[in-house]
């Protein structure tokens, strides 16, 4: 059904009852499709890298390895994620608020700039003289267009942020919603605020670096570069965290009719990200010269680790909200009936729950531990670091985005998923693959294996160092996990692209897929022992115990190395 207002045509989606601005829909679609295409490219580069770091395979020669690794970092982390985030913020601002998108023309400028920027940087990388890794630490230099592409890409993303903000203003003025912003949109707003700070930091560092690569600026101080680059690099990860947590909340509502346990708590936790997370970039510089311990400790913790607190809160409240909804809907027996009765075969749910688990147990626990000033010395720049952040960006963010994509295909593309059996196992392939990859790489990193390294055997070198057999084994196991996750990632791309191209059209009279609020236990007390979500509480305590144990294990290990003062 299509209705038209003075401003912009809308349609009412049969599956969700949502009022969808068709111009916004086109923009969400194009951003999501570009994102998935780039995920495919990034994943292919990831496969090449993984097959090279698997000692028994050692696929690529050094120059191609470093080129593929630069491409993988840039394309997977920046291009795939940020294109998808553009889709998310447009969707949330327009569709969730039933509002028309502000300045669709500018949104198309965003699409074009980001695409052109990504293409320019990709060309620079493939030309071979810009294998500098996504961090491009000075004074190592890339070709000027490597930086130029990134700058254009960032300008595009900034335009997208303003389109989002403009849409919020319109929604408010035209009163398309009542009261406060929905949590979903509020989360996006937080992400966009962080994004603006992030892009500003990126501009402050990349523009001078671009000029330096052209010979217009004499030199760039390496410490200043790292401080500002990480103000950009770190806070860009906070955009991802905020975006994927927003998706967790949203999926909990879509799939279970779940209501956030406490809006107040969740919103405050989001706010803590702005106040305490995005400025805390020094945990990337803990083993660098030139900064005092007092500052390092202050910056990483702000004296109380409020950002860690915020993530721990979301980690409890999202599954908690699901538990409460499930209990109200009738699954109120024992600690875990609600969990057993979750739709484990539904890819939207499976992606989301795996994202929560992997982000918490792998990304979260290790992230907290490695950002301790002293523990960082036994982790900094080892392959442990990629182990950790694949738990956050691949297992956490990417998996959550995959889940949302499965949801968007029938709603926005109005197509049914093809290969439902593959969609059922895809989250598990990708999730378990990445989990094995992450954990094994952390094991290798604990033995000291360096990151971004072509040949851990140091073949032919006089001062060569012998690794214990365990280090080789960990690398092999990890990269096998990596290959499995690539298979999962490829399956995702096939399902998405295939569904869009040849999927069955969703009929106009399809029945609503948004979870009903059955509320069979509305009048009864739910939960146990005065806890509404006792199962989640037990799971959260498990995480807590793991975190505490792991934290002290690292200090125990630290205490055995050379004395450092």
Partner 1 sequence: MATAYTPPEEGWATEPIERTEIIWIVLALSWCLFMFGWMIAWHWIGNQNMNNEAYRTTPEAYAKKVEDFTAKYTVRQDASDPSLPVVAPPPGSDVYLAASRWQWRPVLEFQKGKSYRVHISSLDWQHGFALLPENINFQAYPGYEQVITMTPNKTGTFGIACNEFCGIGHHIMLGRIYVKE
Site for partner 1 in 131-150 (CB under 8 A): 131-133, 137-140
Among 36, 282, 537, 554, binds partner 1 (CB under 8 A): 537
CB of 24 or CB of 358, closer to ligand HEM: 358
Among 169, 217, 223, 508, binds partner 1 (CB under 8 A): 223
Q: Which of 133, 422, 473, 514 binds ligand HEM (CB under 6 A)?
A: 133
Residue 431, binding choice from ligand HEM, partner 1, none, Cβ under 5 to 8 Å by partner class:
none
118 near partner 1 (CB under 8 A) = no
Among 452, 497, 528, 543, binds ligand HEM (CB under 6 A): 452
E strand or H helix at 9, and its extent?
strand 9-12
Query: How many of the chain's residues bind partner 1 (CB under 8 A)?
Result: 116
Check residue 181 and report its DSSP letter: P
Smaller CB separation from ligand HEM, 168 or 490: 490
Near partner 1 in 376-405, by CB under 8 A: 377-382
Close Cβ partners of 74 (under 8 Å, ≥ 6 residues apart) = 121, 122, 125, 134, 150
Stretch that binds ligand HEM, among 49-57, 142-150, 153-161, 299-307 (CB under 6 A): 49-57
Our finding on whether 533 is near partner 1 (CB under 8 A) is yes
Which residues in the 146-185 window bind ligand HEM by CB under 6 A? none
Q: Which of partner 1, ligand HEM, none does residue 46 bind (CB under 5 to 8 Å by kind)?
A: ligand HEM
Positions in 346-385 near ligand HEM (CB under 6 A): 383
Among 93, 202, 451, 472, the residue binding ligand HEM under the rule CB under 6 A is: 451
Instruction: Report in angstroms how near the CB of residue 207 gets to partner 1 at its nearest.
Output: 20
Tokens coding 421: 């059996």
- Alpha carbon 541 to its chain centroid, in Å, reads 24
Query: Is residue 72 at the binding interface for ligand HEM, with CB under 6 A as the rule?
Result: yes
Query: Smallest distance, Å, CB 360 to ligand HEM?
Result: 17
Task: Determine contact, residues 134/57, Cβ cutoff 8 Å.
Answer: no
Q: Is 134 in the site for ligand HEM (CB under 6 A)?
A: yes
Maximum pairwise Cα distance, the chain = 76
Report the b/e string of 477-508 with b at 16+ CB within 10 A.
bbbbbbbbbbbbbbbbbbbbbebbeebeebee
Residues 191-220 that bind partner 1 (CB under 8 A): none
Cα–Cα distance for residue pair 367/7, rounded to 1 Å: 47
For partner 1, which is the closer residue by CB, 2 or 462?
462
Of 424 and 452, nearer to ligand HEM (C-beta) is: 452
> Which region among 195-203, 288-296, 331-339, 497-505 touches partner 1 (by CB under 8 A)?
288-296
Alpha helices in 447-468 (DSSP H): none
Q: Which of 22, 119, 211, 265 lies at the binding interface for partner 1 (CB under 8 A)?
A: 265
What residues numbered 79-98 form the site for partner 1, per CB under 8 A? 96
229-258: contacts with ligand HEM (CB under 6 A):
none
Edge-first strand order for the sheet with 2-4 is: 2-4, 9-12, 19-21
Q: From the CB of 55, what's the least distance to ligand HEM, in Å?
A: 12
Range 461-500, binding ligand HEM (CB under 6 A): 482, 485-486, 489
Which candidate, 163, 160, 159, places its Cα nearest to that of 99? 163
Q: Which does 77 bind (CB under 5 to 8 A by kind): partner 1, ligand HEM, none?
A: ligand HEM
Do 122 and 149 meet the contact criterion of CB atoms below 8 Å apart? Answer: yes
List residues bridging with 11 in a β-sheet: 2, 20
Burial of 207 (0-12, 13-18, 19+ CB in 10 A): middle
Stretch that binds partner 1, among 27-35, 103-111, 357-365, 523-531 (CB under 8 A): 523-531
Q: Give the separation between CA 231 and CA 235, rounded to whole angstroms.
A: 6
**CB closer to ligand HEM out of 393 and 496:** 393
DSSP 67-111: HHHHHHIIIIIIIIHHHHHHHHHHIIIIIITT-PPS-HHHHHHHH
User: Where does this chain touch ligand HEM (CB under 6 A) — which range of 8-16, 44-52, 84-92, 320-328?
Assistant: 44-52
Task: Answer yes or no whether residue 304 interacts with partner 1 by CB under 8 A.
Answer: yes
| Binding of ligand HEM by 73 (CB under 6 A) | yes
Coil, strand or helix at 3: strand
**Which residues partner with 531 through β-bridges?**
528
Nearest to 323 by CA among 246, 427, 252: 252
Residue with structure tokens 């940020």? 82
Could you say whether residue 14 binds ligand HEM (CB under 6 A)? no
Q: Which of residues 305-334 bind partner 1 (CB under 8 A)?
A: 305-306, 308-309, 312-313, 316-317, 320-321
Backbone dihedral region for residue 89 (phi beyond 0: left; psi -120 to 50: alpha; all else: beta): alpha
Residue 536, interface with partner 1 (CB under 8 A)?
A: yes
Site for partner 1 contains 464 (CB under 8 A): yes
Taking the complex as a whole, how short is the minimal distance between the CB of residue 73 and ligand HEM, in angstroms?
Answer: 3
**Rule CB under 6 A: which of 378-407 touch ligand HEM?**
383, 386, 390, 393-394, 398
Kindly report the number of other CB atoms within 10 A of residue 81's CB atom. Answer: 25
Residue 443's contacts (CB-CB under 8 Å, 6 or more residues apart) are 387, 470, 474, 478
User: Min. distance of Cβ 387 from partner 1 in angstroms?
Assistant: 14
Task: Work out what residue 398 binds among ligand HEM, partner 1, none; the CB cut-off runs from 5 to 8 Å by kind.
Answer: ligand HEM
Residue 64: burial class (beta carbons within 10 Å; 0-12, 13-18, 19+)? middle
Picking from 86, 79, 98, 95, the residue whose alpha carbon sits closest to that of residue 163 is 86
Question: Which pair of structure tokens corresponds to residue 54?
Answer: 């698997």
Give the residues lining the site for ligand HEM (CB under 6 A). Answer: 43, 46, 49-50, 53, 69, 72-73, 76-77, 81, 133-135, 383, 386, 390, 393-394, 398, 451-453, 482, 485-486, 489
């Amino acid at each position: 059904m299509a209705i038209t207002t003075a401003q912009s045509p809308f349609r009412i989606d049969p599956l969700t009852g949502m009022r969808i601005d068709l111009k916004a829909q086109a923009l969400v679609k194009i951003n999501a499709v570009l994102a998935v295409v780039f995920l495919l490219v990034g994943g292919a580069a990831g496969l090449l890298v993984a097959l090279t770091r698997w000692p028994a395979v050692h696929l690529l020669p050094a120059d191609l390895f470093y080129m593929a690794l630069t491409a993988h970092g840039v394309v997977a982390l920046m291009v795939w994620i940020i294109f998808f985030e553009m889709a998310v913020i447009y969707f949330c601002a327009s569709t969730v608020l039933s509002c028309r998108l502000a300045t669709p023309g500018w949104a198309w400028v965003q699409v074009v700039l980001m695409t052109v920027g990504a293409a320019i940087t990709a060309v620079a990388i493939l030309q071979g003289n810009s294998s500098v890794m996504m961090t491009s630490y000075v004074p190592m230099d890339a070709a000027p267009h490597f930086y130029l592409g990134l700058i254009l890409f960032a300008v595009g993303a900034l335009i997208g942020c303003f389109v989002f903000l403009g849409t919020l203003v319109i929604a408010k003025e035209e009163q398309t919603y009542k009261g406060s912003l929905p949590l979903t949109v509020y989360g996006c707003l937080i992400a966009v605020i962080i994004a603006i700070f992030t892009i500003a930091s990126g501009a402050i560092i990349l523009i001078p670096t671009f000029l330096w690569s052209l010979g217009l600026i004499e030199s760039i101080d390496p410490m200043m570069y790292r401080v500002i680059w990480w103000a950009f690099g770190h806070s860009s990860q906070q955009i991802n965290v905020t975006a994927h947590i927003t998706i967790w909340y949203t999926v909990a509502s879509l799939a279970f009719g779940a209501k956030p346990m406490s809006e107040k708590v969740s919103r405050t936790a989001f706010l803590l990200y702005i106040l305490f997370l995005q400025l805390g970039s020094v945990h990337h510089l803990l083993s660098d010269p030139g900064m005092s311990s007092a500052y390092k400790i202050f910056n990483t913790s702000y004296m109380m680790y409020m950002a860690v607190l915020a993530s721990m809160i979301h980690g409890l409240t999202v599954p908690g909200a699901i538990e409460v909804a499930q209990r109200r809907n009738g699954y109120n027996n024992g600690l875990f009936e609600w969990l057993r009765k979750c739709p484990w075969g539904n890819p939207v749910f499976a992606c989301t729950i795996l994202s929560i688990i992997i982000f918490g147990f792998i990304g979260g626990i290790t992230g907290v531990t490695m950002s301790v000033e002293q523990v960082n010395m036994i982790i900094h720049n080892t392959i442990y670091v990629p182990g950790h952040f694949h738990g956050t960006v691949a297992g956490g963010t990417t998996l959550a985005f995959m889940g949302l994509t499965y949801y968007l295909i029938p709603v926005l593309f109005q197509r049914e998923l093809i290969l439902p059996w593959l969609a059922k196992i895809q989250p598990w392939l990708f999730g378990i693959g990445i989990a094995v990859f992450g954990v094994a790489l952390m094991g290798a990193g604990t033995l000291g294996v360096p990151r971004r390294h072509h040949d851990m055997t140091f073949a032919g070198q006089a001062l060569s160092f012998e690794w214990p057999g365990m280090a080789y084994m960990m690398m092999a196991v990890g990269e096998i996990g990596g290959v499995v996750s690539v298979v999962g990632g490829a399956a995702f791309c096939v399902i998405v692209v295939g569904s869009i191209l040849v999927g069955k059209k969703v009929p106009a009279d399809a029945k609503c897929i948004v979870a009903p609020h059955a509320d069979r236990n509305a009048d009864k007390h739910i939960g146990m022992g005065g806890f509404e979500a006792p199962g989640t509480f037990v799971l959260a305590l498990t995480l807590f115990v793991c975190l505490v144990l792991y934290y002290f294990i690292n200090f125990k290990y630290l205490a055995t190395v050379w004395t450092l003062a």
